[in-house]
Amino acid sequence: MNKPVSSILEVVGNTPMIELHKVVDESMARVLVKCEFLQPSGSVKDRMAQHIIEQAEARGEIKPGGTLVEATAGNTGLAVAMVAAVKGYRAIFVMPDKFSVEKINMLKAFGSEVVVTPTAVPEDHPESWREVAKRIVRETPNSLLIDQFFNLDNIEAHYQTTGPELWEQTDGEIDAFVSGAGSGGTISGVGRYLKEKAKEAGKEVRNVLFDPPGSILYNSYYKKPVTDKTGWKMEGVGNGFVPGCLDFSVIDEVKQVNDRQAFYMTRRLAREEGLFVGDTSGAGIFAAIEVARALGPGKTVVAVCGDSGNRYLSKVYNDEWLRDNGFALHGFGLWKGRVADVLSHKGGDVIFAEADEDISTVAGRMGDHGISQMPIAGTGGRSHMMIHESDLLQALLLGTLKPNDPVLEAANELKGKVTPHDHIAMLEPLLDDASVAVVTDDANTITGIISKIDVVKYIASL
C-alpha cells in the first residue's frame, strides 16, 4: 500500500495506462490510454500548474499570500485552484462564456473567483479573456499570470514527467503518441522527450496532433489558409492562434477530428471500455485509431485522455443537448454497419470528371450515369475538388462561365469526407451539409461516393 502523503500535490502525475479492447480490432496497432483524467483535479493540467507555480516560487516571482491569475477554459483553472488552495494563494480565473457550468462551479468550490468574458471578441480585444487576465495582473500587487499558452515551464512539466512516464510504462515500445493541443504543452513536452529517447534507441516515434476543424492549428502546420470559419464544441483543444507552447518541430502529422467523431467515440469509450472521459478524449482516441490502423499490428499508439466525463454531463453525455446541437448520435445504436458496408451494398466505381473537361461534356456524362456530382481527378494541388450539377447550373445561368469552359472553374472544395472504417452514424450529417459523403481511404484516395438513397437502400436491406 502507498504510505500517507503530506498533501494532494504529492499524488500529481504517475497516472495509469490502460489498453483498449472494444473500440479497436486485430488489424490495428495496440492503443493505450494515458489516464490523465485520473489526476487529482481531474485533468492533464495538474502537472503544468504545479510546475509553473513552483518554478515561479523558486525564482521569487510570487510570494506567500500572493494572487494567481489565468485565462483558462476550466481545467487549468481547476488545477491552479487546487495548488492555490494547498499553498494558500488567492486565485482569479478569466474564461469565455462557452464553457460548461460544472467547471465554473468547481472553481468556486476551491474558493476561486471567476470572471466570464464574451466568446465573440477577437483575441487581441481588451475584453478578450487573455487581455482581461493580463489587466488583472497589472492591477494586483504580488500576482502571477500563469500564462499557460506562452510559459515554457508548461512544456517542461510534460518533458520532465509525462514523457518519461510514457517511455517507462511502455518499456520504450511506443511508436506513436496522439494528443490535442490547447496550450500545446502536452504534445510539445512529451513529443520532444519521445523524439530524444527514440533517437537514443535508434527507433522512430510519430507525434500526431489532433485538431478540430475551425481551429487554426491544422492549417498553420500545413501552411494552408483557414477556410473553415465554423467553431467547435469540444472543450480545451484547438485554438484561434498558435500558442508559444506549441512546438510544431516535434510534430509529424496533424489530423482533423470533428465534434461528431469526438462525441461518438466519447460515448463508446464510456459504454464499451468503461472510460468515463471528456469529449477531447474521444477525439484523441478517434485519431489514435486511425494512426493504429495505418501502423498495423505489433506497434503501439499512446493517446492522452485529458479529462473526466463528470465535467460534461450537461453536454456530450446529455442526449437532449446532443440532439439540440444537431448531433443525433442517440440513434447510432440502431444502425448497424460501417461506411464500407454501405459502399459494397451500393457497388460500382467512382466516376470522375477530368479537370480540363468542358462543362457541357461533364453535364452530358452526369446525365448518362444519372448522377448529380463528380469529384475532379488529376488536378494536382486542387485534387480535392467536386463538381455538382447545381454549380454548373448556377455558373451557366449567371453567365459567369460558358459551356465550353473547363469544369474545374465551377468546382468547389470537396466536403463531407468519411473513411470506409467509419460507423454509419458518421454519414448522417454529411448528407445534409454536403449532399453526398465522399469516402476516402488511408492514402486520401476517393474510393466511393454515398448519396442519401444509397443509405436508405442499405438500411432497407438489413
Ligand X SMILES: Cc1ncc(COP(=O)(O)O)c(C=O)c1O
Among the listed residues 163, 214, 282, 306, the single contact to ligand X using CB under 6 A: 306
User: Rounded to an integer, what distance in angstroms lies between the CA atom of residue 263 and that of residue 285?
Assistant: 11
* Shortest distance in whole angstroms from residue 36 CB to ligand X: 7
Three-class SS of residue 295? helix
* Cβ nearer to ligand X, comparing 278 with 416: 278
Query: What's the closest the beta carbon of residue 302 comes to ligand X, in angstroms?
Result: 12
Stretch that binds ligand X, among 60-68, 173-181, 218-226, 339-347 (CB under 6 A): 173-181
Mention every residue, 6+ apart, whose C-beta is less than 8 A from residue 442.
290, 293, 294, 419
Residue 46 binds to ligand X (criterion: CB under 6 A): no
| Choices 81-89, 177-185, 215-223, 447-455; region in contact with ligand X by CB under 6 A | 177-185
Distance CA 448, CA 438 (A): 6
> Which residues, numbered 142-161, are part of the site for ligand X (CB under 6 A)?
none
- The interface mask with ligand X, positions 267-286, x = CB under 6 A, is -----------x-xx--x--
Which of 85, 133, 136, 237: binder of ligand X (CB under 6 A)? 237
Tell me if 266 contacts ligand X by CB under 6 A: no
Angstrom CA distances, 134 to 68, 111, 320, stand at 11, 21, 38
Task: Using CB under 6 A, pick the residue from 42, 185, 191, 282 that binds ligand X.
Answer: 185
If one asks whether residue 236 binds ligand X (CB under 6 A), the answer comes out as yes
DSSP code at position 215: B
| Cβ atoms 307, 44 nearer than 8 A | yes
CB closest to ligand X, residue no: 306
Note whether 44 binds ligand X by CB under 6 A. yes
| Closer by beta carbon to ligand X, 281 or else 373 | 281
The site for ligand X, by CB under 6 A, has a size of 20
Stretch that binds ligand X, among 114-122, 223-231, 300-308, 356-364 (CB under 6 A): 300-308
Q: Where are the beta strands (DSSP E) in 268-418?
A: 300-305, 353-354, 373-377, 385-388, 412-413, 417-418
Choice from 307, 391, 428, 454 touching ligand X (CB under 6 A): 307
Q: Which stretch binds ligand X (CB under 6 A): 181-189, 370-378, 387-395, 438-446?
A: 181-189
Q: Of these, 163, 182, 212, 309, which contacts ligand X (CB under 6 A)?
A: 182
180 counts as binding ligand X under rule CB under 6 A: yes
Give, in order, the Cα–Cα distances in Å from 414 to each of 358, 434, 437, 438: 19, 9, 10, 8
Residue for grid cell 476543424: 213
Contact residue for ligand X among 39, 50, 72, 75 (CB under 6 A): 75
Q: Report helix angle 452-461 to 339-346, nearest 10.
A: 90
* DSSP label of 189: H
Q: Which stretch binds ligand X (CB under 6 A): 299-307, 338-346, 361-369, 453-461?
A: 299-307
- Note the residue count of the chain: 462
SS3 450: strand
Residue 255 β-bridge partners? 210
User: Can you tell me the distance from the alpha carbon of 269 to that of 307, in angstroms, rounded to the nearest whole number?
Assistant: 13
Confirm or reject binding of residue 77 to ligand X (CB under 6 A): no
Only segment of 51-59, 131-139, 184-192, 363-371 that touches ligand X (CB under 6 A): 184-192
Beta carbons within 8 Å of 64's beta carbon, 6+ residues apart? 88
Cα separation, 109 vs 349, in Å, equals: 59
- Cell numbers standing for residue 310: 463528470
CB of 441 to ligand X, least distance (A): 26
Residue 183 binds ligand X, judged by CB under 6 A: yes
Q: Which range touches ligand X (CB under 6 A), out of 27-35, 195-203, 301-309, 314-322?
A: 301-309
Q: Rounded to an integer, what distance in angstroms lies between the CA atom of residue 413 and that of residue 73?
A: 33
Chain centroid to Cα 358, Å, comes to 40
Distances (CA, A) of 351 to 40, 51, 102, 386, 447: 55, 57, 50, 11, 10
Residues making contact with ligand X (CB under 6 A): 43-44, 75, 179-186, 236-237, 278, 280-281, 284, 304, 306-307
